[in-house]
Structure 1
Amino acid sequence: MPIDEGLNIDLRFLILEVKKQARASASVVEKPSPAKIKKISVREHFIDNLKDTLESKCYFNIHREEEGQINHFRAIITIAVNLERCADFFISIANQMSHVKEPAEFVEFGLKRYYQVIYKAIDAIYPALSENNLELAQTICDYELVLDDYYNETAALIRAKLRQRSKVDDLLTLLAIAQYLERVGDSFLNIGEAILDIRLGEQLGILQFRNLQKGLASQNININDSNIQFKPIMSTRSGCRVARISMTAVDSVERALFYKEGDVAKIEDEARGLALWQEKFPGLTPKIVWHEAKKNSATMLLEYIEGDDLLKILINGGSRLDQAMEMLTKQQAQVWKVSHKSKVVKSDYVTQLLSRKSDIQSVHPGLFEASHGLDLMIKEARKIERQLPAPFSTLIHGDFNADNIIFQFDQQQMYYVDVHRSGYGDYVQDVSVFLISNLRVPLFSSEVRQRLNMANQRMYDCAASYAARQKDKMFQARLALGLFRSLITSTRFVFDKKFSAELIDRAKLIVDDLKAHEGKLNRFKINPEYFLYR
């Protein structure tokens, strides 16, 4: 996008002034004098005013422009703020030099090389922005690493000199100066990433951008292509960044990919889960298009599944709910049947609950106080749990919420997504998660609640029928324990105290009912009030 002429002039003046300050700072370091130090300080207010003017103009334009242009103005704000920060660092360096007794001794530390990199970075900012030059923007980011390396070398040399206990004050001042120069590099990183963010409209770091660029290149997609759209998906609690990436091919057919980036363990678990499902049930989960893990983060590109998730159907209504539940229950029964393994599985619902205790307490700090009796309930539940191993295992989703089930009705196809917790376990766990994730939906209109109740009843009936065929005599008791776990852990998503209290009351009812059947848990019967909202 061409830069507005007024902004164009202000930005170029700001870049020019900051480069002047960089040169003035280098001159002070080489040969300090009171006159030079005073002169560099005088320009501070002029630079501050330029930055403030740019910010004001950008904020004014942000409220008037389209989304793609808004990204441009946001980037200019980031550039202006970080340039002003660099100017402050240059002033601080000059002020530090006023305390130096022997500035000539600094020559061996090679501070000139810092400034040579700084000049290159400053010179690259305007062309990278105005020409939307992503390669040049990445180069600006890379200058941060160069300055980091210089700083590490300088700091190591200073530490060696300090051991000689000579000229300590000057050396400590030099260390402070080197730190300011290193922080200039941090500002360049922010500037380069801001220019990259214009392209996608999302704040990706340089490493994440390069991983995405590499992944797209593996699919013969150039990230520079103007028809690529990057649309973040906000509704995720996983801590991962997720987005829909779409592009239009020469034949006018749109292609879409699902982008996921985040913690290595979570992405690797997702890859493992997808491989597990593809092995047993090919086509029931998205295909991995590209995947790469590095030390601190991992990136994945998946086949993007168009369609309606079950939660959307439940909330918005429509005639598709009955069809969706018919497809889902048939598919689930098939999954349980095909993946059945005759291996006893130890129940660990209470352990799962306790692993989320700190998250629950962060939302409801007083929930585990003695007056609520929750710790006692959990102890009772653990005693009961020891009596309830699952007689066999099946492949389970692990995060079986309604929004992780997607339907394509025209193709009579459904998919499971977000399978990072998938593995072999007790099928009852998925059932309990499904039931309570619907129960905790914070919408209370009679129409929505009727649909949520219907979905829950259908899923319960499906699981109960499967349990009967398998002669799973403890199904009802294990399901109750799973519901107990999910009711309590769900409070970490519910800020409404009244609704949270209701969830806890249901959990208490379950424990009381289970205790009443100790020694005869095979006769325990689920109370529909556990998972239906009246």
Structure 2
Amino acid sequence: MNKLFPEIYESLRFLLIDLQKQLLALIEGIRDADPDSFKKSLSRTAYIENAHLSLLNRAYRTIQNSSGDYRAEIQGYEHVSYSLISLSRQLETVSYQLQRNDPLKNLQKRRVLAALQDLYNGLELIEPAIESDDLTLSIDICQLQARIEKACSQQLKRYQQKLQEKYEDDLIQSSFVVKDIQYMAKTLLKVGEGVISGKLGQFIEIDSYQKLEATLSEMDFDLAEQQIHIHPMGETKSGCTISGVASASEAQDEVLAIFKEGQKKKLLEEKIGIETWHEKFPGIAPEVYSYQKQGDKAALLFEYLTGQTFDKLLLDNRKVLQDGLNCLFSTLTEIWQATEQEKRMPTSFMSQLQKRLSSIYAVHPEFNLKGLQIGDAKQPSLEKLIKQAAKLEEKLQPAKAVYIHGDFNVDNILFDVIKCEINFIDLHRSEYQDYSQDLSVLMVSFYRLKQYDPKIRQRIRLSMQAIYDFGADYAEQNNDNDYALRMALGLARSFISSTRFVLDKEHARSMLYKGRFLLEHLSQIDKQEYKNYQLPKELFRD
């Protein structure tokens, strides 16, 4: 965020000038007990609204007419403007309260005026913060929140004590005024975050920035001397945000590290998962640079791994995709051989599916059919099919446990074409389990991709077939006779449960039908046919 966009910056300056006038008039009204000052404060609101609208219009035109990618900087301006307009409306509310009531006699003027002066100081820092080459002033704006909130909290505590002794309407009104000033502090914090976000290239809260600052300092990266740029790289289904961290002096694709933020439980599991992979199969997982926690949130900074995920390989060309699959199969064989245990691990595909039915029906309520009958033809409910398949699952011979990824989707596997190496990411679910767990997830993660070009769907079909055949070969070499049955159950689970991530109704129905087909097919085979069971190959076709 800088003065690269003079028209937008001009609108912001006008907005700030009128907002400062609005705040100063409120300060004068409280200091001098002057009702006319409150009217003067209220008169600025129309000017502020106009400046805000002007900024938004100019920002829109700039994005439309700009050939460069300045969206992050412009969005920083917009975020600041929205926060300032919110602050103006909070000031307006306080002025109305002070006009219509007389809470001034109960206000601790010294504390209130000190809090409002800090608020004014914060507004004065905004322009220098935008013009500055570093983030020091932006952080100073954010840190003013704590001072203002402390002053307000002390006064509110005093009011609460007085109200316990005697109820007074004026005290209640005074509490409202102080509480509103406390809200203003939070809004000022949002202003500071908006300036920081515009400079970094992605929206980031001050707590997140401080976590990032702490983690980078552990890499001997001095933010005071070196500026960084962060850009979004996705969001996991568990709600974690993923950003690439690059030096501002380098090209954006020259990423220094990956910064991941989210629930502490998830990120702690991932940290442990990465560390465990380093013990069991060194080199497959990224290196953890730092782990920071605060309350129920945490941040993880880890190595940026080169390579493409398999959903990207799918769009490249068939040879690169085949090379990636061959490298993956070789790597999986090594991992399974290195981590195999004598302990056998039964699958739990049907119990997993049963637990996810409510989430599936929340997205696709039309899937919740309780069984249909037309003449003598009956279609059992999904719940009944799951119960029948669960009985079959209990009878199957478990495979020897190996260490698996646990969330083996196409976007969690990286293939470096130049090095011919495979790496894993997003490892919070890694554990000892039946290898069919990972293979069935991977096959369906290919199928559910929202790619409908016939050539791409052909590659998806061939990739699914190749994954299944690789598993079958491994099973044969290891005398695993129930591989096909377990994979059928795993695929049924993954086809049906993955519909909750697919909003395209036709695509979701196709996945549901494939899952149901497998469950119905399994329910019709005799125990004598288990050893000769073959997965229906038409399953891979659209």
Structure 2 residue identity aligned to 1:464: A
SS in structure 1 of the partner of residue 365 of structure 2: coil
Quote how far apart the aligned CAs of 1:465 are. Answer: 2.0
**Between 63-72 and 12-21, the greater mean CA deviation after superposition:** 63-72
The equivalent residue for 1:100 is 101
Structure 2 residue identity aligned to 1:344: R
Q: Is the 8 A contact 1:99 1:173 kept in 2?
A: no
Structure 2 residue identity aligned to 1:125: I
Q: Is the 8 A contact 2:363 2:500 kept in 1?
A: yes
The equivalent residue for 2:202 is 202
SS in structure 2 of the partner of residue 283 of structure 1: coil
Structure 2 residue identity aligned to 1:194: G
Alpha-carbon separation, structure 2, partners of 1:104 and 1:277: 66
Q: Write the mapping of 1:1-12 to structure 2, written as runs, cut at 5 A.
A: 1-2=2-3, 4-12=5-13
Alpha-carbon separation, structure 1, partners of 2:419 and 2:438: 25
TM-score w.r.t. length of structure 1: 0.92
Quote how far apart the aligned CAs of 1:424 are. Answer: 0.7
SS in structure 2 of the partner of residue 233 of structure 1: strand
Seen in structure 2, the aligned counterparts of structure 1 residues 356 and 67 have a Cα distance that, compared at 3 Å, is farther
Structure 2 residue identity aligned to 1:279: E
Deviations 1:87-118 (A, max 9, x none): 22222212212343463232378322211321
Q: Is the 8 A contact 1:144 1:186 kept in 2?
A: yes
Match of 2:535 among 519, 527, 531: 527
Alpha-carbon separation, structure 1, partners of 2:413 and 2:10: 52
Alpha-carbon separation, structure 2, partners of 1:105 and 1:235: 49
Match of 2:430 among 422, 427, 433: 422
Structure 1 residue 398 corresponds to structure 2 residue 401? no
Structure 1 residue identity aligned to 2:192: G
Structure 1 residue 239 corresponds to structure 2 residue 216? no
The equivalent residue for 2:47 is 46
SS in structure 1 of the partner of residue 291 of structure 2: strand
Alpha-carbon separation, structure 2, partners of 1:365 and 1:80: 41
Alpha-carbon separation, structure 1, partners of 2:341 and 2:249: 45
Match of 1:467 among 446, 454, 475: 475
Seen in structure 2, the aligned counterparts of structure 1 residues 124 and 375 have a Cα distance that, compared at 3 Å, is same
The equivalent residue for 2:338 is 338
Seen in structure 2, the aligned counterparts of structure 1 residues 88 and 442 have a Cα distance that, compared at 3 Å, is closer
Q: Is the 8 A contact 1:439 1:533 kept in 2?
A: no
Alpha-carbon separation, structure 2, partners of 1:95 and 1:445: 61
Deviations 1:388-424 (A, max 9, x none): 3624211011111222222222222111222221111
Q: Write the mapping of 1:358-507 to structure 2, written as runs, cut at 5 A.
A: 358-371=358-371, 373-388=381-396, 390-507=398-515
**Unaligned ranges ≥5, structure 2:** 373-380
Q: Is the 8 A contact 1:487 1:507 kept in 2?
A: yes
Q: Write the mapping of 1:58-77 to structure 2, written as runs, cut at 5 A.
A: 58-65=59-66, 69-77=70-78
Structure 2 residue identity aligned to 1:193: E
Q: Write the mapping of 1:36-435 to structure 2, written as runs, cut at 5 A.
A: 36-65=37-66, 69-101=70-102, 103-107=104-108, 110-166=111-167, 168-223=168-223, 228-234=228-234, 236-247=236-247, 256-371=256-371, 373-388=381-396, 390-435=398-443
Q: Is the 8 A contact 1:231 1:244 kept in 2?
A: yes
Seen in structure 2, the aligned counterparts of structure 1 residues 50 and 217 have a Cα distance that, compared at 3 Å, is same
Quote how far apart the aligned CAs of 1:345 are. Answer: 2.0
SS in structure 2 of the partner of residue 420 of structure 1: coil
Deviations 1:174-207 (A, max 9, x none): 1111121011112111110011012221111101
Deviations 1:143-195 (A, max 9, x none): 223323333323222221111224x2111111111121011112111110011
SS in structure 1 of the partner of residue 418 of structure 2: helix
Structure 1 residue identity aligned to 2:132: E
SS in structure 1 of the partner of residue 231 of structure 2: strand
Alpha-carbon separation, structure 2, partners of 1:88 and 1:312: 47
Q: Is the 8 A contact 1:248 1:255 kept in 2?
A: no
Alpha-carbon separation, structure 1, partners of 2:499 and 2:55: 45
SS in structure 1 of the partner of residue 344 of structure 2: coil
Structure 1 residue identity aligned to 2:363: V
**Between 102-111 and 504-513, the greater mean CA deviation after superposition:** 102-111
Q: Is the 8 A contact 1:287 1:303 kept in 2?
A: yes
Alpha-carbon separation, structure 2, partners of 1:104 and 1:148: 21
**Unaligned ranges ≥5, structure 1:** none
Structure 2 residue identity aligned to 1:61: T
Quote how far apart the aligned CAs of 1:308 are. Answer: 2.3
Seen in structure 2, the aligned counterparts of structure 1 residues 317 and 132 have a Cα distance that, compared at 3 Å, is same
**Between 421-430 and 500-509, the greater mean CA deviation after superposition:** 500-509
Q: Is the 8 A contact 2:229 2:248 kept in 1?
A: no
TM-score w.r.t. length of structure 2: 0.90
Paired-residue identity, % = 26
SS in structure 1 of the partner of residue 428 of structure 2: coil
Quote how far apart the aligned CAs of 1:12 are. Answer: 3.2
